[in-house]
Chain A
Amino acid sequence: MDTILDVQSVHTFIGQYHILQGVSLSIPRGSITALLGRNGAGKTTTLKTILGLLPPRQGKIVFEGREINGMRSFDIAARGIGFVPEHRAIFRDLSVEENLKIAERKKGDYARKQDFIFGLFPDLKRLIALPGANLSGGQQQMLAIARALVADNSLLLIDEPSEGLAPVIIENVMAAIRELSKNATIVLVEQNFLVASQLAEYYVIIEEGRSVRHGLMAELVQDQATIHRYLGAA
């Protein structure tokens, strides 16, 4: 199996708190992998550790065959890792177009990807000149995802894409993520198990800062005991 990202027994601290106490992931290229777990299990911290925003104290992170732990976060992002943070983290004072243009890594990225992005999110084209703060929650989420598409990212880390969105908007976001997976590998943090199970082919369960289970999503869906034990969902 061709692996794009390999996280080996990573330990991360926030201040004096030992948050990740041995997380390991192996992400197959071209797949969608869901990181599952209860609130506070360490899913978002895992994404931030991969990105270098919270550098690990122990362990190894290998992306595209190269060790990236210890690198600065902007260097890691520039290697082709896009991040869609939780809470629809766009730049509220910048217009929709400026939010997209700022994500250019090479001049002309935005112009090249415009058709693809507006094909996925036609609403954004209509709102192009509006400040980010004036968009609805769903539109901000679409903008946050669209921003990660401007540059050529081979890996996208998406944190809680369905959080706080209406069901009809969640459908749109899911369709967009499926479309994205044709060109990039996706690691998805998702509280909504139904959404995660419909999108992802693989899963990793994180419990109290440790990766405790992993495998095919199709198998997990059948395993009600594991779902109930680690996710509290039935």
Chain B
Amino acid sequence: MTKSFFRQHQASLLTLLALVLFPFLVGLFEGASPAVVWANGSGTSKFMQGLAIEVFILAMFALSYDLIFGITGLLSFGHSMFFAVGAYASGIAIKSFGLNLGQTFLLVLAAAFIQAVLVGIVLPRVKGITFALVTLGMASVLHLIVMSTELGPYTGADVGLQGVIIPDFINPAVERLRLYFVAMTVFILFYLLYKRFVDSPTGRVCVAIRENEDRAKMLGYNVFTFKFAALLLSSITAALAGFLHTIYQPIVSPNTASLAFTVTALLIVLIGGVGTLSGAFLGAIVFRALDFGLRRYIGESASFINGAVYVLFVLFIPYGIIGTWRLKSLELKKGWEDLLKRFQRSMG
């Protein structure tokens, strides 16, 4: 039983081990012992932990998008608003109202719920491209709100929200390793929750809705309830990713509410594999590594090359990394089975 558990989850457990050891392994490359890394003394390790924290935040955001788009089939062009609400609500709560992290966390949950309800109001009335445009409209309104000079004292207007004082125990400048493990744990917990959700009867109905909404209705399902459940979970996840973003980044940019940021989630999901969940993590690694690597070595023109890489990705790996991998594994398995059958037949 134990053996089969390890064998069944081999890839996940190895990934978990690699993530736990990652800061210490990077430290070793620099000649820093695990104790030094533990005390936040290794510069390279600290830098890489920062990149990894960004990957976890992006992966959480992309995971929430995959649930809406990849699993339930709702194409949203306004998903960034969920993230932005989490990020801005956290920053404003801490900076302007002096709330502690626990109170801020609860506020973010409440804001995510209210936002899901607001989007949920239009859900039964629109679908397909109309839903995409309605969500784009909602996100644009939020973008205008955070950019407005009237709310500048709270949101920082077009400059962005700055000067949010993060408590030392989780401040990335002081305790980055702790924040790394917190972000990693939060991401893993949400990933497991999503796996559970998708494999549950509710998740299967969401897949059925993606395939054909009318067919799901014919079976007696009130599809609104299921779409709303997916939307609520997605909204909470994206808002918590925004909460972590505020803790990690010194500035909350208005770009987090823009269409470009929704496209970021879409790209990550397309790179990793639509509807695969684990593709969100892999896609976030590729996205952040490409962005960072190209900017560092090529500079400003990196955006053009980045764009070209994504086009090539969509053209030549249309199912994303995980989707293509699964497809090829199936073909390989079928090929081996066919070969085995032929061999058995030839042996009489």
Contact = CB atoms under 8 A, between A and B. Distances in A.
Q: Which of A51, A74, A103 has the most CB of B within 10 A?
A: A74
Contact of A91 (B201, B212, B222, B223): B212
Interface string B211-227: 11011011111110000
A101 B204 contact: yes
Of B201, B208, B212, B219, most buried by chain A (CB within 10 Å of CB) is B219
Interface residues of A, number: 22
A74 B217 contact: yes
A91 B207 CA distance: 9
A151 interface: yes
B205 interface: yes
A94 B223 CA distance: 17
B207 A78 contact: no
Interface string A131-156: 00000000000000001000100000
A91 B211 contact: yes
A178 interface: no
A29 interface: no
Nearest to B218: A83
A151 B222 CA distance: 16
Contact of B220 (A77, A89, A93, A98): A77
A90 B219 CA distance: 11
Contact of A105 (B204, B207, B214, B220): B220
B201 A53 contact: no
A58 interface: no
Given A53-B214, A91-B208, A93-B207, A101 B201 contact: yes
A9 interface: no
Contacts, number: 52
A74 B222 contact: yes
A16 B177 CA distance: 64
Interface in B166-210: 201, 204-205, 207-208, 210
Interface string A57-96: 0000000000000001110011000010100010111100
Nearest to A131: B330
A89 B212 contact: yes
A231 B141 CA distance: 57
A78 B220 contact: yes
Contacts of A73: 214, 217-218
A102 interface: yes
Contacts of B217: 53, 72-74, 77
Contacts of B205: 102
A220 B298 CA distance: 80
A78 B204 CA distance: 18
A85 B207 contact: no
Contacts of A72: 217, 222
Contacts of A102: 201, 204-205, 208, 219
A147 B205 CA distance: 14
Contacts of B214: 53, 73
Nearest to A151: B220
Contacts of A78: 220
Nearest first, the 7 closest Cβ-Cβ pairs linking A and B are A77-B220, A78-B220, A73-B217, A83-B218, A74-B222, A74-B217, A91-B211
Given A72-B217, A85-B218, A101-B201, 7 more contacts: A74-B219, A92-B211, A94-B211, A98-B204, A102-B205, A103-B219, A147-B219
23 contacts: A53-B217, A53-B218, A72-B222, A73-B218, A74-B219, A77-B217, A78-B220, A83-B218, A85-B218, A89-B212, A89-B215, A91-B207, A91-B208, A91-B211, A91-B212, A91-B215, A94-B204, A94-B207, A94-B208, A94-B211, A98-B204, A151-B219, A151-B220
